[in-house]
Structure 1
Amino acid sequence: MTQADEHLHIVIQGPPAVSSGPLHLKPNCFIWGDDPRHIFTVNVAPKQTVADLKYLIKNKTKPEFDHVSDRYLRSNADHLIIWKVKINYDLHLLNAIGDEGVELKPLTKLSEVFKDGVECECIHVVVRHPAVARYIPAVARYITAVDRQFAYLKKGADTPSAGAKPSAFSIKQDEQEYLCNRPHTAADPVPVTLLEPIFAEFMDDCQNHQQTACDNEFVRQLSENMSSFYSDELTRMSVFRQVLHDYGIIFDASIVNSTKCTTVGRLLSTNGKFMQVIVEGKNEIGSGDAEPFAEAMLYYRKFIEDSKIEIVRLRSVLPCIHIVVFGACIGFAGSVFTENVQSDVLVPIIPLFWHSTDLHMQVMAARTFGALKIAIEKLTHLYSQPIPPLKPEDPSLGCPYPRSYTTSTGQIQEFSYDETQSLRGQLIFFGKTVGDAVGRKICIKFVRHYSREAHDFCASKGHAPELIAYKPLAGGWNVVVMDALDITPLKEAITSLIQELHNYNDGYVHGDLRDTNLFVRDNKDFMLLDFDWAGPIEKARYPIYVNRINIRRPDGAWDGEKIVAKHDLDMLEYIFHPEEDGLEPAAKRRRLSTDEGLSMAI
């Protein structure tokens, strides 16, 4: 070979290649309302249409959209809607969609949709569930609720040991950061026992559980160990955990993820995603800088912050029991997460240093820990089952847990809560029945005491809404379901009814006659509401905290005193003749509109 043979002599340049674009597109897709980490891709050709993309998405996400017929995928109906977006991966995708999304029509070629291909690390397609497309107002409410949860968690909290110091915690409570009744203004009207039945059932079991020999031996051991003095908190709580371990309740002291703080004890769900129990303790009453009840709440919040993506998407208030030990005393609280962390004490503080002859205290402790075992089993079962995602049409997590009642014929009737609850602060809710043809409007009221007999009597006279259902609930609650009346808040007719009530059977009293409980349709047609205090004459008594400050009441109408018939008649006089003295009447005098558009002064 010569030297020339070692060189390239001829270069042939062919015609430029004609680009036909990518053979396949792989857009990143996301179902609106799902966990933003649940992003998926589909493999689709540019020559295919949006309808083809819908079909691929349906198959990729089985069984999410199995109820959507294939024949609807090529129509403009709202059975399955997809939007083109271009947004970076972010935890707040829901907020971006409404500003940047472009709805895609079924027959549009994907080559027209993605002219420039698809960029990496972006969301390209958002799938809107049929329910979302159908209930746009509900979607707005859902987004708002989720956003409030995100905003609450995004604020973050101090480390539990620092944030639970009274000086720091009290500042947070100026803004009602934690709804824990400290101070009393930092509270939610709906207690945790109406948001999670496990808490209410725990309270009942603390009073009614038949303690076993195992329970009795456990509290004896616990009392002996906790009544001793220890050099530090770690030693005391290590002994506490060991005694409970021997009893069959196993806690571990672990770091709460991002906080790098170690809990005194905790119990996670079997899948590790949910906090069932948090234990917090102090060596003695007053020892340490942090308040133990507050510290337990902060640990609970920190755990939720670390798993917030999954947490805020679920139809659950995420119940968690707090066990608080301070020296030889122990307390129990229950926490939930709606839009704030809410925590209520569930049972009285139990001193564990009782006298050996104080059997009452020992039985109370044995029942309480027996009830704790039962509650932990229920929480374990709750969190072992799939928790459905929160849908736009779902009621607020702040509504009580009952969603059905039993009719007079023994049938179970489900109901839903309305979007707006103007009387939530009085534990009065409005909704309508579901699954029936009527969609009956109902009022759902939660009370500690109610006289069904008095209500039924007044309803039979046409002067009270029909009582649809009445049922005792756990935790000392009762749910009352009645017709929801579209009415607004006179003397002979009302007085006559009350006198008849006093003579009915052995006689009943109402006990709380105020103009807020009298609703007038016209000058003679009225409805009487609120039978919380009602009961038999000479047996019914006033509850605690009878308001005598800005409501005028008869002499003798005090906490715990008997409600007598004369009290009812006196209250009516105060309503209809407030001008006879300078005292404040049963409610402020005001003008009310009647159904006929006239005005009536009360």
Structure 2
Amino acid sequence: MPTHLTVPIYVANSDGSRRPKHITRYTIQDEGTNLCALRDFAAASLDDCGIELPENLLSRLLVLDDPLFSPPAIPMLKDLPHELPDDQRLGWDEWTFSSIRIHEKEGSVVILYESGKRRAEQMADLSEFQQAKKAKLISKSPSEMSKPLNYEAIQKSPSERILDDRPTADEGLPPVPLLYSGFGHFLDIYNGCNDFSELSILDLPRLQVAVEGFAEAMSAFFTDEDARPDAGLPFLNEIFSSRKSQLPSFAHLHAQSFRSLRTDEHNIAAYNAAGTVVVFKNMLTGNRSIPEVEVACYVAQLNARSKEVSTLFDRWRMPYLGITVVEIGHQVTFYAVISVGHQYRLVSLTPTLSCLVASANSDDRKRLRRAFAAALVLDMLIFADICRLLKQLPPTIHPDRWRLPAVTQLRKYPLSESSAENPSDVHLDFQIEHDQRSNPSRLIYIAVSEGQEIVIKFTRSYCPRLHTFCAELGHAPNLLAYERLPGGWFGVAMAYIPFARHLSDCKADAAERLRWGNQLSEVMNRFHEAGLVHGDLRDSNIVVDGEGRVLLLDFDWGGLDGEATYPTWSLNPQLLEGRTRHDFIIRKEDDKRILEYTLSLTSDDR
């Protein structure tokens, strides 16, 4: 075989339904290991083209004139050009690598693949757990799959990718605290909230000593990749065991081998389901694996082999805590990993925290202790939830609901006297059916409660007092429920308004528009007299229902005059135009200016 021979590589569908396409060229340098490199190169080229190979045909390479694939079998192959002279086409050579047969001849190389559509149809017939067991994410070891080249290749597949907002945002997914409330509790504790009952059952002095020991150990240098986890593991087990004696004992973190892999540390929590995965890395150089991606790969591997997980996987979004210790070991980051159907959502819960002694005199060490306290609580919550759900299995999640919030009840608002006396009547129960978001930044959904459609909204701030005030005047949907949720979110339930149209979209005569304007001005004046402001009386927050009533929406920024504030300077230009004050405070004058502009859009002179 001549060396440094360049061959063109084509791709063709094995059923002949797609014309062969030239995708790249490859130089064969020798007869040995480079043939395996040719296979990998071809597979990567397919990924670049967005082509998914089935598991049993990772990269089956055949030459152009293999008689086994004659024109009747592959009609398009006869059209491939012979780019090299006959005297450079040598005889057949065949090599076998595992179950992959690679045929190579100095001529045009054809990669045969089965259509992605057929694979997608086959996968759709499987349960979410069966799909997760066949996912590309677990086709290689976690340390190999999380290398940049493999990670970037899998991120090109919408149905196989890790949902980590790279290279672009994964739209349609709610924040992780709305997928599993435990992540919200983690964030609350990390951000300094002490009003949480589970904190009282932690042995905080013991936890602090263990965190200090872990930080000191991880600040050292280790020449052996395995030496760092060996040094950190005892401290991590001490951290996660820092709970009062009456609690169930902690299932220790440990390294374990499965398949042909040696995992980093994970605990075998409730019923052999891992709740926490820790990845240690000495330095991030060259083509080393990406630590947080490796965490997601470990979770996927552990799920695929767990009998208990298989029972819950199609019924619950399986949550995990991920911890990475990287860059010579002193940088620690905490992650949320949760199953969303057969894929995994990966989100950081903290910034990177330092273990170095200098951070002991700064807020960094306090944040590290807070993070581990939050991690310990989260681990207990996951354990308790798995135990509870395995005793009474929830229903299977409908395929259309995996990416919807896992919130099914909110506290009624205002709470009636009868509800206050009857604990079972405190909450409004509902099932979220689909989203209703024209703006991806707004978390608004349609739900069903007692056979009636309602609207569920999640927001960072809300003024139920202003909403109720306007509803009692007949100019807002009835507020049904309102509750602060873990992670700094508020859940709002309100009546669904059918046939609602924005004010500017309504066709009406001058008299009707004047009536609407007078109603809006009257409502605004009334809540101003009560000392309240709205802050965003734009057309997008004003609708007319099927009965011709004008209604206000979006009370996110409402509150007391002079106390309510805008969240940022990145506001719609309509809110800033004509504003003379250089602060975030919302005043009555802001409402008047914005409403005047909104009404001008519906006038005859616009």
- TM-score band, normalised by shorter chain: 0.5 to 0.7
Q: Match of 2:235?
A: 243
- 1:160 equivalent to 2:142? Answer yes
User: What amino acid is aligned across from residue 415 of structure 1 in structure 2?
Assistant: D
Q: Match of 2:73?
A: none
* In 1: Cα distance, 2:231 partner to 2:313 partner: 38
Q: Deviations over 1:224-274 (max 9, x none)?
A: 11122221332122211122133345311123x44x2222211122421x2
* In 2: Cα distance, 1:384 partner to 1:166 partner: 37
Q: Match of 1:268?
A: 268
* Residue 369 of structure 1, aligned match among 345, 364, 372: 372
Inter-CA distance 175–601: structure 2 relative to 1 (3 Å threshold)? farther
User: What amino acid is aligned across from residue 491 of structure 2 in structure 1?
Assistant: V
| Partner-residue secondary structure (3-state), 1:178 | coil
User: What amino acid is aligned across from residue 362 of structure 1 in structure 2?
Assistant: R
How far apart are residue 572 of structure 1 and its match?
2.7
Matched-pair contact (CA < 8 Å) for 2:568–2:584: no
User: What amino acid is aligned across from residue 293 of structure 1 in structure 2?
Assistant: E
Q: Deviations over 1:301-331 (max 9, x none)?
A: 2333345992575421011110111121111
User: What amino acid is aligned across from residue 297 of structure 1 in structure 2?
Assistant: A
How far apart are residue 417 of structure 1 and its match?
2.0
User: What amino acid is aligned across from residue 366 of structure 1 in structure 2?
Assistant: R
Inter-CA distance 560–298: structure 2 relative to 1 (3 Å threshold)? farther
* In 2: Cα distance, 1:345 partner to 1:419 partner: 28
* In 2: Cα distance, 1:386 partner to 1:261 partner: 30
* In 2: Cα distance, 1:150 partner to 1:579 partner: 55
* In 1: Cα distance, 2:285 partner to 2:494 partner: 49
* In 2: Cα distance, 1:509 partner to 1:422 partner: 26
Aligned pair count reads: 431
Inter-CA distance 354–462: structure 2 relative to 1 (3 Å threshold)? farther
Q: Match of 2:278?
A: 279
Inter-CA distance 171–514: structure 2 relative to 1 (3 Å threshold)? farther
Alignment of 1:56-135 (within 5 A): none
Inter-CA distance 561–240: structure 2 relative to 1 (3 Å threshold)? same
How far apart are residue 386 of structure 1 and its match?
4.1
* Residue 565 of structure 2, aligned match among 534, 541, 556: 541
Inter-CA distance 540–221: structure 2 relative to 1 (3 Å threshold)? same
Matched-pair contact (CA < 8 Å) for 1:395–1:416: no
* Residue 193 of structure 2, aligned match among 205, 208, 227: 208
How far apart are residue 564 of structure 1 and its match?
2.8
Alignment of 1:83-482 (within 5 A): 147=127, 150-151=130-131, 153-157=133-137, 158-176=140-158, 177-206=161-190, 207-209=192-194, 212-249=204-241, 250-255=252-257, 257-258=258-259, 260-272=260-272, 274-284=273-283, 286=285, 289-307=288-306, 310=310, 314-326=314-326, 327-339=329-341, 340-355=343-358, 358=361, 360-387=363-390, 388=393, 390-391=395-396, 396-407=401-412, 408=415, 409-410=419-420, 411-423=425-437, 425=440, 426-434=442-450, 439-482=451-494
How far apart are residue 144 of structure 1 and its match?
6.6
Q: Where in structure 1 are there 5+ consecutive unaligned residues?
A: 1-142, 581-599
How far apart are residue 472 of structure 1 and its match?
1.0
* In 2: Cα distance, 1:242 partner to 1:360 partner: 25
Q: Deviations over 1:190-219 (max 9, x none)?
A: 111111111111222222356722122122
Instruction: Quote the sequence identity (%).
Output: 24
* In 2: Cα distance, 1:245 partner to 1:217 partner: 12
Q: Where in structure 2 are there 5+ consecutive unaligned residues?
A: 1-122, 242-251, 503-515
Q: Match of 2:501?
A: 488
How far apart are residue 567 of structure 1 and its match?
2.7
How far apart are residue 450 of structure 1 and its match?
0.4
* In 2: Cα distance, 1:545 partner to 1:148 partner: 43
Matched-pair contact (CA < 8 Å) for 2:435–2:445: yes
* In 2: Cα distance, 1:392 partner to 1:201 partner: 24
Inter-CA distance 416–601: structure 2 relative to 1 (3 Å threshold)? farther
How far apart are residue 277 of structure 1 and its match?
0.9
Q: Match of 1:566?
A: 589
Matched-pair contact (CA < 8 Å) for 2:433–2:448: no
How far apart are residue 292 of structure 1 and its match?
0.7
How far apart are residue 150 of structure 1 and its match?
4.6
Matched-pair contact (CA < 8 Å) for 1:336–1:343: yes
User: What amino acid is aligned across from residue 428 of structure 1 in structure 2?
Assistant: I
How far apart are residue 523 of structure 1 and its match?
9.2
Matched-pair contact (CA < 8 Å) for 1:263–1:278: no
* In 1: Cα distance, 2:581 partner to 2:325 partner: 37
| Partner-residue secondary structure (3-state), 1:456 | helix
How far apart are residue 405 of structure 1 and its match?
3.1
Q: Deviations over 1:321-344 (max 9, x none)?
A: 101111211111111112221122
Q: Match of 1:526?
A: 550
Q: Deviations over 1:132-169 (max 9, x none)?
A: xxxxxxxxxxx979656654653422432233223332
Q: Deviations over 1:428-447 (max 9, x none)?
A: 2222224xxxx343222111
Inter-CA distance 297–519: structure 2 relative to 1 (3 Å threshold)? same
Q: Match of 2:88?
A: none
Q: Deviations over 1:113-140 (max 9, x none)?
A: xxxxxxxxxxxxxxxxxxxxxxxxxxxx
Inter-CA distance 536–275: structure 2 relative to 1 (3 Å threshold)? same
Q: Deviations over 1:466-493 (max 9, x none)?
A: 1112111111111111112212324332
* In 2: Cα distance, 1:450 partner to 1:304 partner: 38
Matched-pair contact (CA < 8 Å) for 1:554–1:567: no
* In 1: Cα distance, 2:125 partner to 2:354 partner: 41
Q: Match of 1:121?
A: none
* In 1: Cα distance, 2:175 partner to 2:605 partner: 37
Matched-pair contact (CA < 8 Å) for 1:263–1:279: no
Q: Deviations over 1:385-413 (max 9, x none)?
A: 34315347798233323322334223144
Matched-pair contact (CA < 8 Å) for 1:544–1:560: no
* In 2: Cα distance, 1:145 partner to 1:422 partner: 28
Higher mean C-alpha displacement, 373-382 vs 311-320: 311-320
Matched-pair contact (CA < 8 Å) for 2:211–2:235: no
User: What amino acid is aligned across from residue 236 of structure 1 in structure 2?
Assistant: R
Matched-pair contact (CA < 8 Å) for 1:491–1:576: yes
**Bigger Rg, structure 1 or 2:** 1
Inter-CA distance 166–564: structure 2 relative to 1 (3 Å threshold)? farther
Inter-CA distance 370–420: structure 2 relative to 1 (3 Å threshold)? closer
User: What amino acid is aligned across from residue 593 of structure 2 in structure 1?
Assistant: D
* In 2: Cα distance, 1:240 partner to 1:305 partner: 27
Matched-pair contact (CA < 8 Å) for 2:404–2:435: no
User: What amino acid is aligned across from residue 419 of structure 1 in structure 2?
Assistant: E
Higher mean C-alpha displacement, 465-474 vs 569-578: 569-578
Q: Match of 1:70?
A: none
Matched-pair contact (CA < 8 Å) for 1:540–1:562: yes
Inter-CA distance 516–153: structure 2 relative to 1 (3 Å threshold)? farther
